[in-house]
Amino acid sequence: MDNILKDTAGLGILFWLVGYLAGIVVFFTPYKDSMAWIMLFTFTPFTILVTWWWFRQRDYESTEYYAGVGIAWAVIAIVLDYVFIVRLFSSPAYYAPHIYLYYALMFLIPVGVGLYLNRNVVVVKVG
């Protein structure tokens, strides 16, 4: 149970918080008009590498486990974005195509990393 909590809530909140704080910093630079793409192209590789590093030493985890982690991360991102961006800053125009891509990536990254880590695992099903 401890690993599930760290993998879902721990990493999900960590990734959201790092992106949120970086977004605030970039907002006060001359690059704020390109902030979404800067964040996407900077933090997608970061998220992939940290996710790979986090799960690489584990014993086998099922694809369903990684999908559950992805669902949790996407839900965390959606809820925290709504509370701390849309509601806090009264910004209903926040939702744009790059935001939906971000939510999709929050699901796909742990699934993709899990598939990569499980690529050489042979699973024997009894029955």
Please check whether residue 46 lies inside any domain of the structure: yes
Please check whether residue 126 lies inside any domain of the structure: no
Q: How many domains does the chain have?
A: 1
Answer for the pair 109, 48: CB distance below 8 angstroms, yes or no.
yes
Which domain covers residue 8, as residue numbers?
Answer: 2-117
Angle, helices 97-117 vs 35-55, to 10°: value is: 20
* DSSP label of 6: I
Please check whether residue 127 lies inside any domain of the structure: no
Please check whether residue 17 lies inside any domain of the structure: yes
Phi, psi of 125 (to 5 degrees): -100, 130
Tens digits of pLDDT across the chain (127 residues)? 689 999 999 999 999 999 999 999 998 999 988 888 899 999 999 999 999 999 999 888 999 999 999 999 999 999 999 999 898 888 777 888 889 999 999 999 999 999 999 998 877 778 6
Rounded Cα gap, residues 10 and 13, in angstroms: 6
Please check whether residue 112 lies inside any domain of the structure: yes
Please check whether residue 101 lies inside any domain of the structure: yes
Please check whether residue 40 lies inside any domain of the structure: yes
Q: Which two tokens stand for residue 87?
A: 């509601």
Please check whether residue 124 lies inside any domain of the structure: no
